[in-house]
Amino acid sequence: MSYVRLLPVRRTARATTRTLAERVRRAKSGVRQRVEWEGCPVQAWVNGHIVTDPDAPAVAVTDRGFTVGAGVFETLKVLDGTPFALTRHLARLNHGAAVLGIDSPDDALVRRGVAEVLAAEAHPLQRLRITWTGTTLAITSTAFASYSPTTAIVTSPWPRNERSPLVGIKSTAFAENILSTAHAAKHDAGEAILANLNGDLCEGAGSNIFYVLDGELRTPTLESGCLPGVTRDLVLEWFGAREVDAPLGVLLEADEVFLASSTRNVQGVHAIDGRALGAPGPVTTEVARVWAEREAQSLDP
């Protein structure tokens, strides 16, 4: 069976021209080749084994997650070696697999893989990704810096299809989100916000959105097509908010706006399509305080 590498590797000119004989010599000498993603060191575990050679076979070219995007994934943060809300993330991963008609991965195997990849290299703050295609279970971790307390957002030119069969799952068919994220970066913003086909506020390309209107904290309903984010759920449980659908323009009337995601936690919004907004506001600040307090009490709530 043919395979492809799991991760693209940024190489120097010398590495690009390295011969097979040299690679064999390096392997025999015990020199470990570093797996990288966009220039950052990555610990990778695939189907039961830590990946140490970026040129080693990893994913079959017939894997439908690779060929047509028929797979699911979860991204979560790791605090001092412990993944946050792992049980909730695995529950959503299994739900997404069921939607795609894929058997769920073995829970014990996933947790073993998570433990092994995190044991390979420790950092105070890491991003963990679990990908499952039905035939390939890949787990990667990399260190990352905390997000800034606030960010700017822009409106994405592309809507979210709230009638899509993929609504509510994190599918590896993720190109729409990548394009929206690139659109945000092009406009010096940290996130792109999507409306749905009905024109209602839906979500960010990689986050859920909350806003304060008339003194009330609100967020779009799941019927809007937004992802049932783990952080979104915990904000609703720990702080409370009204789930309500409203036109995208409601953000122009809001007193406060913040984003919520597994790696952002609670992040205030200081600009919307170039319009300045005070951030973090009092409600955002209080939600962030409650989040930090409750997170410290349990890393698997």
Q: Selecting from 3.40.50.10800, 3.30.470.10, 1.10.3720.10, 3.60.120.10, what CATH number does the domain 3-143 have?
A: 3.30.470.10
Q: Give the H/E segment covering residue 16.
A: helix 13-16
Measured between its terminal Cα atoms, the distance across the chain in Å is 41
Task: Check pLDDT > 60 for residue 23.
Answer: no
Q: Give the DSSP letter of residue 138.
A: E
Please tell me the distance from the alpha carbon of residue 90 to that of residue 129, in angstroms, as a whole number. Answer: 11
Q: What is the pTM (predicted TM-score) of this model?
A: 0.86
- What does the mean pLDDT of the chain come to? 89
Angle, CA of 209, 213 and 215, to the nearest 5°: 115
Residue with more model confidence, 120 or 83: 83
- Band of the pLDDT at 122, cuts 50, 70, 90? confident
Give tens-digit pLDDT for 218-270: 999 999 999 999 999 999 999 999 999 999 999 999 999 999 999 999 999 99
Closest CA to 74 of 132, 5, 133: 132
Give the three-class secondary structure for 292: helix
Task: Check pLDDT > 50 for residue 15.
Answer: no
One fold for 3-143 and 150-297 = no
Q: What is the model's pLDDT at position 13?
A: 33
Looking at domain 150-297, its CATH class is alpha beta
- Band of the pLDDT at 22, cuts 50, 70, 90? very low
Q: Where are the domains of the chain?
A: 3-143, 150-297
Closest CA to 155 of 277, 242, 266, 271: 271
